[in-house]
Structure 1
Amino acid sequence: MTAPLPSNGSCSSHPALHTELCDLFGVRHPIVQTGMGWVSGPELTAATAEAGGLGILASATLSPEETRTAIRAVRERTAAPFGVNMRGDAADVTERAEILVREGVKVASFALAPTEKVIRRLKDAGLIVVPSVGARRHAEKVAAWGADAVVVQGGEGGGHTGSVPTSILLPQVVDAVDLPVIAAGGFHDGRGLVAALAQGAAGIAMGTRFLLTSDSTVPDRVKREYLQRGVTDTVVTTVLDGVPQRVLRTELVDRLLESGRLSRAARSLKHAVAFQRMSHIPWRDIVREGLAMRRSHGLDWSQVLMAANTPMMLRASMVDGRTDLGTLASGQVAGLIDDLPSCAELIDRIVTEADAVLTRLTVVPSDAGKAMNARVR
């Protein structure tokens, strides 16, 4: 395993909150902010890192040069450790990995598992490698390849997700691999952190909860859209890119669900052209990624074309604030969130609540203690 980074201090007054994740990442609290495209920019990443969690910069929607610039922008804002998230199936993942190495990034995070070769290259350069998975077999695979930790997202999570709930998937993966497991999907408070630790996790990762903070650059009108929703106001659909994805149910999503494949394909082609012009990613690389998706997910060509929807439709909402034109990736936990704290306020709140819960659970009431002593005698 990669040598741990120096710790920035204890996670909390309760020893159970200083997990192996704190030592591995060199952070104060076992809390990770996930790498969300168009959301996890330098501002949110740095704010999370400054608050003692692990902030992760999203790079899948950035060009290599933009990724390099964003990494430096994070470093201008904080000296704390942070990570960068990449797509494991990206055609230029090797080039992007080298950027992380040259820029001195400490944690490489992956949406979809990278190859063993990429993992080995990053580890040899001293990076901590953390893939995200949604099934036990995937966790076992990346563990065998040398991953240092793994994020396990249950079906409650937002964006691309599986069908197994976190409460079932988490202990299954914990029992299957011998490396730190980070629980994702459905977490937003200290009670959830304690529950994850009780099931064997070394910490939690949150996306929707960090999106809904004052440090997030997502437009206020979009945040308000999330805050007014309930726990049943999301839907998992394959119409966006051929892979199950959890989003808020909006009028746009309803129209897409009702539209035919031909009209969705036409929309996707338009978005593919727009994304290529904006990102400057060569068409050959886009085609290679499409072929990789077709192989790994068993998609047909119309579904591969639909995959071009995701970057541009997320940008329309998360950057431009156009909820009528863009989709809103969201975990079900959005229905439990009703405020927009700063990252510092949020993490402090979670740790304080977790500390109180653990203290309550480990302190035996005096009457119960007397009764127990009487039974012992």
Structure 2
Amino acid sequence: MIKTEICDLLNIKYPIIQGGMAWVATAELAAAVSNAGGLGVIGCGAAPKAVIKEEITKIKRLTDKSFGVNVMLLSPYVDEIIQLLYEEKAPVVTTGAGNPGKYMSMFKEIGTKVIPVVPSVALAKRMEKIGADAIIVEGTEAGGHIGELTTMSLVPQVADEVSIPVIAAGGIADGRGFIASLALGAKGVQIGTRFVCTVECQAHEKYKNAIINSADRDAIVTGRSTGHPVRSLRNKFTKKLLELEKQNTDMETLETLGVGKLRKAVIEGDVENGSVMAGQISGLIKDIKTCEEVIQDIIADAENVKNRIIYI
């Protein structure tokens, strides 16, 4: 069995973390991942405190294993969400879209492990300095809001510059990506899109099928002109966005157009007019499995890859 220091740090069996995807990463999905030996993560997105409290109550009923909560630091409810996580003594908190520094002492007080998501070496070093327990280094291959550097180029550069554990994210869905990430210096991986296509994921079946039916070039980027690029599957919505960007449409208009579009795809199943956020690895995903099957497949595949490399 492949075990790293991330397993001990987060009290999990396998060094696999599920991405905290807004609208997708519910208690049901997170609990299934945790029960299968990884770290399941509830995604807060821009949800208010009451919604997240209900999700935490639910996951505590569904699993006795460790779990995490992903906090988007630009959320209008961030302060009350942080207070809730303090009260609930969340085992792990991952953060994005901001600096969690002002909350660090609260989490240290209750033993919560804090793991920011970073897109650059500079931000990784800053997060280590403020006391992060580990960092998730996310490459541009990921779905949703992205940076510009690839996982393969970014992970080893960060691993060389920090002493805390690095978790690789972006473009990872099987044992090959898992082993490659460890070879680059990571101590674990974060996986998002592969966990969308699972039995326990509550996302609409049309959302899952859009990923399953996608090809290698279907995960495209919109929003570069606004400075907030997003990777999602090409559809009527992305076509409209790209056309408006070519016309130099102002940022406010573009961002207003995107409001509610992720929910439209994930919950309502409108995969043509909604935002089907998914990573470049989508073309590799061809079926829907349980979370346990996904994790066991990754570990078994990783062992085979490792043994084959050693044999060569």
TM-score of Structure 1 vs Structure 2, range by shorter chain: over 0.9
* Structure 1 segments (4+ residues) deviating >6 Å: 260-264
Partner residue of 2:68 out of 83, 88, 93? 83
Q: Name stretches of at least 5 consecutive residues in structure 2 with no aligned partner.
A: none
**Pairing 1:336–2:260 present:** no
1:327 equivalenced with 2:275 (yes/no): yes
Return closer, same or farther for 1:303/1:260 CA change in 2, 3 Å cut-off.
closer
In structure 2, the residue matched to 1:359 is 307
8 Å contact kept, 1:153–1:183? yes
Moved more, 304-313 or 99-108: 304-313
SS in 1 for 2:228: coil
Residues 350 and 239 of structure 1, relative CA distance in 2, 3 Å threshold: same
Q: Counterpart of 1:86 in 2: which secondary structure? A: strand
* 1:216 aligned residue (176, 188, 201): 201
The aligned counterpart of 1:345 is 293
For 1:131-182, what per-residue CA distance to the aligned partner results, in whole angstroms no more than 9, with x for missing partners? 0011111101111000001111111111111121111000000001110100
Q: Which residue of 2 aligns with 1:232?
A: 217
Alpha-carbon distance between aligned partners in 2 of 1:311 and 1:37, rounded to the nearest angstrom? 13
How far residue 113 of structure 1 moved from its aligned partner, in angstroms, is 3.3
Matched, 1:185 2:167: no
In the alignment, residue 194 of structure 1 is paired with which amino acid? I
Structure having the higher Rg: 1
1:121 aligns with 2:106: yes
CA distance in 2, matches of 1:56, 1:48: 8
Query: Which residues in structure 2 correspond to 1:41-52 (within 5 Å)?
Result: 41-52=26-37
| C-alpha deviation, 1:94, in angstroms | 2.5
Correspondence 1:242-253 to 2 at 5 A: 242-253=227-238
When the two structures are superposed, what TM-score results if normalisation uses the length of structure 1? Answer: 0.79
Q: CA distance change for structure 1 residues 318 and 131 in 2, over 3 Å: closer, same or farther?
A: same
Query: Does the aligned pair in 1 maintain the 2:23–2:45 contact within 8 Å?
Result: no
How far apart are the structure 1 equivalents of 2:128 and 2:95?
Answer: 13
CA distance in 1, matches of 2:225, 2:256: 8
1:138 equivalent in structure 2: 123
- Map 1:294-333; keep pairs closer than 5 Å: 303-304=251-252, 306-310=254-258, 312-333=260-281
Change (3 A) 1:18 1:89: same
Measured in 1, the distance between the counterparts of 2:166 and 2:224 equals: 31
How far did 1:304 drift? 5.0
Distance in 1 (alpha carbons) for counterparts of 2:146 and 2:184: 20
- 1:95-106 counterparts in 2 under 5 A? 95-106=80-91
Inter-CA distance 153–260: structure 2 relative to 1 (3 Å threshold): closer
Any conservation in 1 of the 2:68–2:92 contact (CA below 8 Å)?
yes
Q: Which amino acid aligns with 1:356?
A: N
Q: For residues 322 and 97 of structure 1, do their structure 2 counterparts lie closer, same or farther at Cα, with a shift above 3 Å needed?
A: same
SS of aligned partner of 2:242:
helix
Is 2:10 aligned against 1:25?
yes
Classify 1:339/1:114 alpha carbon distance in 2 versus 1 (closer, same or farther; 3 Å).
same
Deviation of 1:263 (Å): 11
**Distance change >3 Å, CA 183–CA 260, structure 1 → 2:** closer
Gaps of 5+ in 1: 1-11, 265-301, 365-377
Q: What corresponds to 1:68 in structure 2?
A: 53
Question: What corresponds to 2:190 in structure 1?
Answer: 205
Q: What secondary structure sits across from 2:260 in the alignment?
A: helix
CA-CA distance at 1:117 after TM superposition: 1.4
In the comparison of the two structures, how many residue pairs are matched? 312
Supply the AA of the counterpart residue of 1:346: V
Find the aligned partners of 1:207 and 1:30 in 2 and give their Cα distance: 14
Distance in 2, matches of 1:117 and 1:137, equals 19
Whether the aligned pair in 1 keeps the contact of 2:31 and 2:40 (CA below 8 Å) is: yes
Could you say which residue in structure 2 is the equivalent of 1:152? 137
Verify the 8 A CA contact 1:240 1:306 in the aligned structure 2: no
Letter in 1 for 2:239: D
Report if aligned partners of 1:21, 1:203 keep a CA contact under 8 Å in 2: yes
Identity of aligned residues (%): 35
1:308 CA drift (Å): 4.7
What's the counterpart of residue 276 of structure 1?
A: none
Letter in 2 for 1:201: A
The 8 Å contact of residues 241 and 309 in structure 1, kept in 2 or not, is answered as no
| Per-residue Cα deviation, 1:75-101 (whole angstroms, up to 9, x for no partner) | 111011000011123343232111011
Are residue 256 (structure 1) and residue 256 (structure 2) matched? no
